[in-house]
Amino acid sequence: MKYKIRFFSILLIVLGCSALTLAKSIASTDTNQLKLTAKLEENQITVTVGGKVFTCYKFDKSQKCPYFWPVNGPASGETITTETSQPYPHHHSLFFGCDRVNGGNYWQESNEQGQIISQGPRIIKILDNRITFVDECLWQQPGKEPVISDHRTVTITAPSTDLRFIDFEIALEPLTDIQILKTNHSLFSARVAPELSVKSGGTLINAEGKTSEKETWGIASPWCDYSGTRGSVTEGIAIIQHPRNRWFPSKWFTRDYGFFSPTPMFWLEDDRLELSKGQVLTLRYRVVIHAGDAKTAKISDIFQQYSQINREY
């Protein structure tokens, strides 16, 4: 009898150890799936999650402005955004720019009217679950002195297998007195892949549950989300504004063909914004790339969490 008891005791220990080993293996696999890396290359920073490319921050000096592309979905591995499109080739995926700045155009094609020129980004932190890099960019027309220096900090995380975050903070420092005239071509913006657009059956929705261009254009809201289905996979992208941003919650410029941007510059008081030399304007956004639609991804909850980040400017 005592041998049977000893046998079963040993068996339980072995099974327990096996279960623990399996649990550790699964945990290790999950950790590896979400491990981030970043590599600074000649004209881009490439960020991977679990060994697969998530996004690239492109900063070649020939570009109109730096931008992120691709921005790959966590489920499909396909880009959620489009690098360029017709008839608006200047919609470069996920980007920041502005038209009508002291007579210059830092938004649409043709570098002759102005460029946002990266001075060369630096990766300042690489952890398994977090990548942070910084970049200084000069807003400049050919043959002229720059009018703005922007200092941007980008932090990328992968909180789960179904979520990716790009936290984008930008401090705009006028190098001279600045006047920005009313324009819909302004600030942080995204252009989704055509097959995810409302015109292709996708969903554009804001924090209040309003949908499509008709209900979201010109409406103030903390966030908007674009999602759609390709094959059997539903994925999307949300842009969230931080509550401490000037103009929060900004009104949105949205299009059913796949463009969306929180852009106060189209609704400015007196149709203009004036910033004195040295008067820094800091704006913060969180981009959420997610599996499922906005409800499945719990974008409302993510906004609430993001709104609690109150780092001093």
Q: Mean pLDDT over all residues of the chain?
A: 91
- Cβ of 301: how many Cβ atoms within 10 Å? 9
* Mean pLDDT in residue range 100-115: 95
Residue 142, SS3 per DSSP: coil
> Mean pLDDT over residues 164-189, rounded?
98
Asked, as a colleague might, if the bond just before 174 is cis with ω within 30 of 0, I would say no
| Dist. CA 8–CA 105, nearest whole Å | 78
Question: What pLDDT does residue 97 have?
Answer: 98
Token pair listed for 136? 């200084």
Q: Which of 67, 74, 112 is nearest to 91 (CA)?
A: 67
| pLDDT(24) > 70 | no
Residue 18 above 50 pLDDT? Answer: no
What pLDDT, on the 0 to 100 scale, is given for residue 14?
35
Closest CA to 119 of 136, 134, 141: 136
Q: What is the mean pLDDT of residues 40-69?
A: 97
For 1, 17, 27, the CA distances from 239, given in Å and listed in that order, are: 67, 45, 30
The length of the chain, given as a count of residues: 313
Instruction: Report the range of poorest mean pLDDT among 5-9, 68-72, 145-149.
Output: 5-9
Residue-level pLDDT at 13: 37
- The predicted-structure confidence for 92-101, as pLDDT tens digits, reads as follows 999 999 999 9
Once rounded to an integer, what is the mean pLDDT over residues 143-148? Answer: 97
pLDDT of residue 233: 98
Identify the pLDDT of residue 311: 56
Q: Which pLDDT value is given to residue 31?
A: 66
The candidate with the shortest Cα–Cα distance to 139, out of 189, 67, 89, 65, is 65
Q: Are strands 178-181 and 36-40 parallel, antiparallel or unpaired?
A: unpaired
pLDDT at 26: 32
Q: Does residue 198 sit in helix, strand or coil?
A: helix
- Distance in angstroms between the alpha carbons of the first and the last residue of the chain: 73
pLDDT at 87: 85
| Residue 4: pLDDT over 90 | no
Residue 12 has pLDDT above 70, yes or no: no
Residue range 48-69: mean pLDDT, rounded: 97
Q: pLDDT (tens digit, 9 = 90+) per residue, 275-304?
A: 999 999 999 999 999 999 999 999 999 999
Model pTM score = 0.89
Query: Which alpha helices (DSSP H) does the chain contain, by range?
Result: 2-33, 212-216, 294-297, 299-307
Provide the 10 A C-beta neighbour count for residue 247: 17
Give the per-residue pLDDT at 30: 61
What pLDDT is stored for residue 287 in this prediction? 98
310 residue type, one letter:
N
* CA neighbor of 140 nearest in space, from 182, 97, 169: 97
